[in-house]
Amino acid sequence: MASRRESLPLFYKRRTRGGAGSARLDPRALAFFGSMLALIAVAGWLYLHQAAEVATYAHEIRVLEHNKESLHRDIAALRAEVAMLGSLERALRVGQARGYQLPSAADTTRRVRVEIAVEPLSQTVTSTTSVIPITLYQSEPVVSTKSFVQDLVDQFRIWADSPASPRGEP
Amino acid sequence: MSVAPEFLEQQRRVIWLEAILGAIGLILLWRLAWWQLVPHKELVFDANRPNVIPAMRGAILDRNGEYLVASTVEYKIAVSPRLLSEDQRKVFAPKLAAIVGKTEAEVAEVLAQTGTEYAVLGTRLPASAGKAMDDLNRVEGLALDAFSVEPSFNRVYPDDGLAAPVLGFVNLEGVPQYGVEAFYDRSLAGLEGIWQGVTDTWGEQILVSLRGYQPAKDGADLVLTVDRNIQREAERILSEAMLESKAGGGNIIVMDPRTGAILAMAGLPTYSPREYWKVESLDQFVNTGISSLYEPGSVFKPLTLAAALEARVIRPEDSYDDRGEIIVGDRLIQNWDKKAHGPTTMTELLAYSRNVGAAHVAALLGPTRFYEIIRRFGFSEVTGVDMPFEAAGIMRVPGNAYWHMSDLGANSYGQGISVTPLQVVAAYGALANDGMLMRPYVVAEEHDADGIRVRQPVRVRQVISPGVAREITKMMTDAVQMGMLEAQVPGYRLAGKSGTAGVPQRGSYQNTDVIASFVGFGPMPEPRFVVLVKFDRPEEGYWATEIAAPAFQKMTRFLVDYYGIPPTEQ
């Protein structure tokens, strides 16, 4: 008899009273298995949630890594472009196209030769500015120190003699 | 007690259910066991195979920071025509043609190969092609499965063959060959990174541990001691002079004697690293400045005299009686003009290149002291320059089976001894640097993510005393003004010596084949550079003073002008 009772399907139990062979649902077993099912569902949900989160972050990292690699390649390409643009070969070609010529190392006329004629200093100090003549062996314009100072003084005088602004503004 | 029929029916059903579930479980178990055991190795290999993140090879720059070699990214675009529909093929063909630089018909032909799994549309495509494919994918929603865009790093040479023997090249397989590329491969290559994780159903690898990610470390940039402007001028002068003299080859080396830094190292014939496979002979890859041996000839005489001065066997003001010939070790030695010149000073010996005088001095010195000091100059050993395939040279010394006393006489004027051009430059550098031999080098700095490593000049040894170095320098300077005016630059005092050396062939020297060279340094009193000019087997002209000295003068004139060194004499 006991073996027959044990062989009843899950969640069923034999009625203690009533008709022969009758059975009814076991609420305690149902509750137990229901709770277990709920727990498994929660655990499963947690697992899936975490897995999804990990996968999302992993994907984001992968995308960032892709971007980094792409930028890395861009840097390489730009550096190569800089290298090619700065090449001596190109500089010479462009220069030649614009009519420039490399100077010859033997051409010493390119060098500015400044010869300063040193005159003996006068014993007494005078108010006039003594100017040492400078000879330039080049076709550069010679700037006279005297005229520059004179111009400055003249400009100062003009400014000093000019009337003040009627509104007192500078 | 009888059992109700519904219970028996239920029991039967449950047994069937259990049997079915059990069978399914067994099948699953069997499959699981099969996957775990049979293809286990392959699966583990596939799962653990990391994605390699390529490292960018470092650039090579000249001493002014100008690029000599740089890395760039290039793309290979391939297609799997099978995965494209007829409509897609028609739509993509013109767009792909514009990207890969082919005609539409050519691309359509590739796309029509529907039985092919993998067909290459273009290789070595520029970065713009890679970007265009990205754009096409974004705009058209291109089926990425059908296309593969594979980036790779490659080398670009802005000035093509400039300094090619020094730089070397990276071949199409990505293997560095010759020069700095090969010698500094470990620094230049960097370290590849890895990305290792689990593969999802879309084939994307998901990083599950930080240990699975190691970023790539780019290779270091190398800053050379070479100045590309000096290098270009050296190559130009060498090329022009070789054309005039119809020489088979030649070298110009410029070195700073104070540090050993090589400012230029030109060697012809050379090659284009952009198309290295087009060389006529593999010998063109060899850096003859460090790997080729030759007999230096009379440029060796100042070293013989320096050794004698160091050993106090002679004094600068000494003279000898030049009788036109001398016998050393049973071998007759004559002057190049086969004449006797009577009383000759040591400076005249250098100025007019008297073989008899050099042999006379070497005989006074004796073999032991001669070879000891010559060895200290660095001959018969590698200089230690940071480039591959450097030759040590050959110098027979007392104790060697093949050494004979006659070698002493021949060696005194640079015959019967094999040296590399760089060894001669380094030895002359010692004369210019108060007797201190410096180790030549080409890489000045290494720049990487960890910082900058500056390479300090290395003193090898004090070869001769500073006083002797100054004495021999003065003698050489006077000799240039006395007998080698072709090398003289007006306004500057230069020290140097020419050498016309016979090329040994089958045990004898032929007058037809010579190596003409000139080595010198300057300007005095503080030499800034040593210059070696060498021409192999010139057909027009014979003497070094005709061929090499004018080239030396041009090079030196350029250097003093380039560095803005004011003249010291009117």
ipTM of the complex: 0.80
Whole-number Å distance between alpha carbons of B436 and B431? 7
Residue A84 touches chain B, beta carbons under 8 Å: yes
- Candidates A14, A54, A59, A65, partner chain B, best to mutate (most B CBs within 10 A): A65
Give me the residue from A55, A73, A75 closest to B151, CB to CB.
A73
Distance from the A119 Cα atom to the nearest Cα atom in chain B, whole angstroms: 23
In this prediction, residues A135-140 reach a mean pLDDT of 46
Pair of tokens at residue B135 = 């754009």
Q: Please report the pLDDT score of residue A168 as a whole number.
A: 40
Residue B401 touches chain A, beta carbons under 8 Å: no
Low-confidence ranges of chain B (pLDDT < 70): 1-3, 46-48, 140-144, 200-205, 208, 210, 507, 511, 570
- Residues 469-528, chain B: which have Cβ within 8 Å of A? none
pLDDT at A55 exceeding the cut of 70: yes
pLDDT at A140 exceeding the cut of 60: no
Q: Using one digit for the tens of pLDDT, what is the confidence trace for B133-161?
A: 888 877 766 655 788 888 888 899 999 99
Whole-number Å distance between alpha carbons of B445 and B221? 8
Q: Please report the pLDDT score of residue A29 as a whole number.
A: 80
Which one-letter amino acid corresponds to residue B368?
T
For residue A104, the chain B residue with the least C-alpha distance is B558
Q: Are A32 and A17 in contact, with CB atoms under 8 Å apart?
A: no
At which residue do the structure tokens 């549309």 appear?
A: B121
For residue B128, the chain A residue with the least C-alpha distance is A77
Residues in A closer than 8 angstroms to B554, CB to CB, are 105
Q: Please report the pLDDT score of residue A167 as a whole number.
A: 47
pTM tops 0.90, yes or no: no
Pair of tokens at residue B471 = 């004495």
Residue A113 touches chain B, beta carbons under 8 Å: no
Give me the residue from A69, A77, A105 closest to B53, CB to CB.
A69
Residue A82 touches chain B, beta carbons under 8 Å: yes
Residue A77 touches chain B, beta carbons under 8 Å: yes
Contacts of A5 (CB under 8 A, 6+ apart): A14
- Candidates A62, A63, A88, A108, partner chain B, best to mutate (most B CBs within 10 A): A88
A139 band by pLDDT with thresholds 50, 70 and 90: very low
Classify residue B491 by burial, with Cβ atoms within 10 Å: 0-12, 13-18, 19+: middle
Residues in B closer than 8 angstroms to A90, CB to CB, are 158
Whole-number Å distance between alpha carbons of B213 and B207? 7
pLDDT at A19 exceeding the cut of 60: no
Residue A106 touches chain B, beta carbons under 8 Å: yes
Which one-letter amino acid corresponds to residue B295?
E
Q: Are B75 and B151 in contact, with CB atoms under 8 Å apart?
A: yes
Q: Are B330 and B371 in contact, with CB atoms under 8 Å apart?
A: no
pLDDT at A4 exceeding the cut of 60: no
Residue A91 touches chain B, beta carbons under 8 Å: no
Q: Please report the pLDDT score of residue B435 as a whole number.
A: 96
Give me the residue from B73, B158, B159 closest to A76, CB to CB.
B73
Contacts of B381 (CB under 8 A, 6+ apart): B375, B392, B393
**Binary contact (B72, A80; C-beta < 8 A):** yes
**Binary contact (B53, A8; C-beta < 8 A):** no
Residue B205 touches chain A, beta carbons under 8 Å: yes
Whole-number Å distance between alpha carbons of B439 and B460? 6
Whole-number Å distance between alpha carbons of B170 and B285? 12
Give me the residue from A7, A81, A87 closest to B11, CB to CB.
A7
In this prediction, residues A131-139 reach a mean pLDDT of 48
CA separation, residue B278 to residues A85, A89, B155, B281, B288 (Å): 25, 21, 17, 9, 19
Angle, helices A88-97 vs B228-245, to 10°: value is 80
Distance from the A79 Cα atom to the nearest Cα atom in chain B, whole angstroms: 7
A1 band by pLDDT with thresholds 50, 70 and 90: very low
Residues in B closer than 8 angstroms to A106, CB to CB, are 557
Q: Please report the pLDDT score of residue B222 as a whole number.
A: 97
CA angle A52, A57, A60 (to 5 degrees): 125
